[in-house]
Amino acid sequence: MKRLFRARGVQATLAWLFAGYVRLCLATMRWTRENEAVAEAVWATRGTPGGGVVVCFWHSRIGLSPACWPLSRAQTPRALISHSADGRFIALAMNRLGFPAILGSASKTGDASKGGAKAFREVLRWIGAGNGVAITPDGPRGPAERFTDGPPLLARLTGAPVLLVGLAAKPCLRLNSWDRGVLPVPFAKGAIVWDGPLAAGRADDPATLAPDWAARLSTATARAEALLA
């Protein structure tokens, strides 16, 4: 079954179906948004020198994530996605939703066989050109809701602000996966909570920042859940 799923033609068909389903769900959901002004201020810098942004949400919320990024007025996005069979499927689906992928790791010292160093350089160039990158800091395999030092390091090297986004849906489907992934259903209620923008200075240690940023992202996600209670 895994070999069948990983066949390129099968993945392309399933990605087309999945993207269509997500698009339907997000278009029919009733959204509550909190603290959106902080994101609006960052989006207003699109196309300007230094106008890049890093956006982080937990891996379990990938299915909801397009709702937090208005393509018409936010920075032009890329999604950093792992260079794996599952990652390639997600990349195909996200591309159809308007979020082309950079395949690899957020860590500068990532496994070279998985394109970590190459992806990191590509992300640096993309952000430096005033664009945006979406990252799941606990992906691709967890542990769930634990930050790597990749996003703080990107922020330190580029000077770009980091937005943390908590996402929730009710009712929703919960996947039997390591991250307990959330998938929306049509006509559900959804919530988006922004936190930030965060910054990392040249003297800041990314490994020291990561736990605090993880706690803040979990708090934003819990707040989004609470808005739907």
Q: How far apart are CA 165 and CA 156, in angstroms?
A: 19
pLDDT digits (tens, 9 = 90+) for 166-191: 999 999 999 999 999 999 999 999 99
Q: How far apart are CA 59 and CA 80, in angstroms?
A: 11
Percent over 70 (pLDDT), the chain: 91
Tokens representing 155?
């922020």
* Confidence bin at 48 (pLDDT 50/70/90): confident
Among the residue ranges 3-7, 111-115, 144-148, 170-174, the one predicted with the least confidence is 111-115
Instruction: Tell me what the pLDDT averaged over the chain comes to.
Output: 90
3-state secondary structure 36-93: HHHHHHHHCCCCCCCCCEEEECCHHHHHHHHHHCCCCCCCCEEEEECCCHHHHHHHHH
pLDDT digits (tens, 9 = 90+) for 54-86: 999 999 999 999 999 999 999 999 999 987 767
pLDDT of residue 113: 44
pLDDT of residue 112: 45
Burial-class residue 23 by CB neighbours within 10 Å (0-12, 13-18, 19+): middle
Global model pTM greater than 0.75 = yes
Q: How far apart are CA 78 and CA 161, in angstroms?
A: 16
pLDDT of residue 7: 67
* Confidence bin at 143 (pLDDT 50/70/90): very high
Q: How far apart are CA 140 and CA 117, in angstroms?
A: 16
Confidence check: pLDDT of 134 > 60: yes
